[in-house]
Structure 1
Amino acid sequence: MTAARLVPPPGAADDRPVLVVAPYAGSGVAPFRNWGPELADLAAVTTVLLPGREQLFGKPALTSMTEILRGLTPQVAALRPRPVVLFGHSLGALVAFGLARELRREGVPPAALIVSGAGSPCRRDLTDLVHLLSDDALLQRTADYDGMPPELLASPELLAVFTPILRADFQVLETWTVDPLPPLDLPVTVLRGVSDTSVTDYQADGWRTHTVAPPAERFLPGGHFFVHTARAEVLRIVRDVLAAVPRRADAPPATPRQGEVSCTPSR
């Protein structure tokens, strides 16, 4: 089984934090490729590439969060002593959250977490199983959130490659059973699009149950893909988070001060 990969590799160690970006369902690293040069003064940027796309084209797509985290965790843990900031959008937000918990388990917790365009995994709608839809309905669901380039919809050959990958990514999201663990004791920022109907207030508010301190919530113009349409605003927030991170990860955050969080998806 091919593991997820960090692209580009973070390179030789320096005193900058490393920003690890986890993309949305169906995506590779291409939509976030320019983040590296724009944030180079504050961080080294690397993006999670899942099998089946770009450099890992032709490799079987992963269908469970456990598989993704099993491959990613040692790669990100190896970045120490540089501090790590995790950013994820949509499905990537859940990957980043799961990765933060796994890194804490390994004794190398991240310095900060940014979850974008997603609600708490404990408050997802259990009746909305996109990965079980027909191909047409699956693609239409993505198109409804302006996530399908017209040239992709117009190409049967590209759709034949893209649809199984998209289905696998939704399966990861919709079949993840979140273990009850103590809340994260680190700065968490929640980004939302003001017109994003895919995330309800109830779902977004669920992030509070996973953090010791209330997360910072930021609203940006746009729908579900505000990460692109409000790109400048998103990067400004990311820069603020990075600027607050110490240049070296010499000491881990304090031990969480609350009990386990029970995750019971509902509504």
Structure 2
Amino acid sequence: MSPSPWLQSFHTVANPRRTLVCFPHAGAGAAVYRDWHRHLDPRDELVAVRLPGRESRIAEPSLTAVADAVPGIMEALAPRLDRPLLLFGHSLGASLAHATARALVERGAPPRLLAVSGRRAPHLPLRRTHSRTLDEAAFRNRIVALGGTPPEVLACADLMELMLPMLRADFIMSDEVDEPVPTPLPIPMLGFAGTDDAEVSVAEVAAWEAFAGAGFALHRLPGGHFFPHQHCREIVHTIMKDDSHGSRRAITIQ
């Protein structure tokens, strides 16, 4: 299997029975999932998506629309369509995973499961000023307020100058996701929400139920917007275990 710049594998599995495909949040690359394979069964594979403009693709122009990323991701996944795929995405990654799941369904190769994390459902309105309209100072303040960027990176002017165009593109991509009328997918879905996430509420994650045509379950985990970093083992185990379940229950937020 020829390597694709769109996918990164951090371990080798001979003839994997399943592949977990992980989509990173805004500003991140595939390396954010570097250690997650340690929580998998040795018979399962993990690959992480790498968008243009970061890591080994730093010289490529960043994308500003989810739809522009889907063809490259689909081409990279094509050699793996002979096995069950499970998709997980956090924040912006959830929207990328959802769009990829829809493309796979349309291709006649639906993933076994879609898991979304720390992301408002696509039919809900944006609760903040669109990133495209912010000046540089306001955009920097947004990055700082969100957290997730190491202080040493924020303090390095040269590094921030290099990263800001990519970050701006990712935030624009995230802010412009909009699907006013939900079209349910014929696959099971899981939602993961941080109970202390000031960026995305538990209810906004629960609203993904409208897009689940084969069952939905919500899992609340302690932490802020980047809670998956502290709960990767639990998330991976939940996804892979849920794949073996025939049904799941929707959880209603009171």
How far apart in 2 are the matches of 1:229 and 1:131? 31
How far apart in 1 are the matches of 2:130 and 2:112? 33
Write the deviation string for residues 60-115 of structure 1: whole angstroms up to 9, x where unpaired. 00111111012112322431211100000000000000110011011111000110
8 A Cα contact 2:13 2:45, kept in partner: no
> What percentage of residue pairs aligned between the two structures are identical?
33
How far apart in 2 are the matches of 1:10 and 1:182? 35
Report the Cα offset of residue 37 of structure 1: 3.5
How far apart in 2 are the matches of 1:141 and 1:228? 20
Write the deviation string for residues 205-258 of structure 1: whole angstroms up to 9, x where unpaired. 32111112441100001000001123333233234235x289xxxxxxxxxxxx
Q: Which position in structure 2 is the counterpart of 1:259?
A: none
Aligned partner letter, 1:59? E
Q: Which runs of 5+ in 2 are unaligned?
A: 247-254
Write the deviation string for residues 116-161 of structure 1: whole angstroms up to 9, x where unpaired. 1111111131763123312232232222232111111110011011
Q: Which position in structure 2 is the counterpart of 1:151?
A: 152
1:128 aligns with 2:123: no
1:240 aligns with 2:241: yes
8 A Cα contact 1:83 1:245, kept in partner: no
Alpha-carbon RMSD across the aligned residues, in angstroms, is 2.4
Q: 1:161 to 1:241 in 2, by over 3 A?
A: farther
1:116 aligns with 2:117: yes
Q: Which runs of 4+ in 1 moved over 3 A?
A: 9-13, 176-182
8 A Cα contact 1:131 1:138, kept in partner: no
The residue correspondences of 1:6-155 to structure 2 (distance < 5 A) are 6-8=7-9, 14-125=15-126, 128-155=129-156
8 A Cα contact 1:16 1:42, kept in partner: yes
How far apart in 1 are the matches of 2:57 and 2:188? 33
Report the Cα offset of residue 10 of structure 1: 8.8
Q: Which position in structure 2 is the counterpart of 1:190?
A: 191
Question: What TM-score results when the alignment is normalised by the length of structure 2?
Answer: 0.86
How far apart in 2 are the matches of 1:50 and 1:84? 19
How far apart in 2 are the matches of 1:101 and 1:181? 12
How far apart in 1 are the matches of 2:68 and 2:89? 17
How many residues in Structure 1 have an aligned counterpart in Structure 2? 243
**Which deviates the most, 73-82 or 44-53?**
73-82
Find the residue that maps to 1:121 and give its secondary structure: coil
Report the Cα offset of residue 4 of structure 1: 6.3
Write the deviation string for residues 159-201 of structure 1: whole angstroms up to 9, x where unpaired. 0111111110111122234386741121210000000021134
Q: 1:115 to 1:7 in 2, by over 3 A?
A: same
**Which deviates the most, 85-94 or 52-61?**
52-61
Q: 1:147 to 1:45 in 2, by over 3 A?
A: same
How far apart in 2 are the matches of 1:13 and 1:108? 22
Question: What TM-score results when the alignment is normalised by the length of structure 1?
Answer: 0.82
Q: 1:11 to 1:181 in 2, by over 3 A?
A: farther
Q: Which runs of 5+ in 1 are unaligned?
A: 247-267
Q: 1:225 to 1:181 in 2, by over 3 A?
A: closer
